[in-house]
Amino acid sequence: MKRLLICLAVFVLLLSGCGYTGQSAEGTHIRLSDSRITVDGKEITNDSTQAVYSARDIVFYLADQGFTYG
């Protein structure tokens, strides 16, 4: 019985550190939509001193369309 309680306690402690919050603690969140691009919730900039910026047109290609597509 004592061994079962110890195993259960270890199991609970291991699972308590496995919570999923939906967002990572570190990193940059880039969101693309049909109307805009946001970086960490703010509109993307053309300022090349920023970690993420838009310097060129962004082109989207569908997969499996062949080499003449686009």
Please write the tens of the pLDDT for every residue from 22-70. Answer: 665 678 899 988 888 999 999 999 999 998 998 888 777 788 887 777 6
State how many domains the chain has: 1
Alpha-carbon gap, residue 24 to 28, rounded angstroms: 9
Token output for 27: 């990193």
Alpha-carbon gap, residue 40 to 50, rounded angstroms: 12
**Would you say 57 and 64 are in contact if contact means Cβ atoms under 8 Å apart?**
no
Kindly state whether residue 37 falls inside one of the protein's structural domains: yes
Kindly state whether residue 33 falls inside one of the protein's structural domains: yes
Kindly state whether residue 44 falls inside one of the protein's structural domains: yes
Enumerate the H helices of the chain as residue ranges. Answer: 2-16
pTM of the model: 0.48
Cα radius of gyration (the chain): 23
Kindly state whether residue 14 falls inside one of the protein's structural domains: no
Q: Which domain holds residue 48?
A: 27-70
Kindly state whether residue 60 falls inside one of the protein's structural domains: yes
Residue 4 has pLDDT above 80, yes or no: no
Kindly state whether residue 10 falls inside one of the protein's structural domains: no
Kindly state whether residue 2 falls inside one of the protein's structural domains: no
Give the helix/strand (H/E) hosting 8: helix 2-16
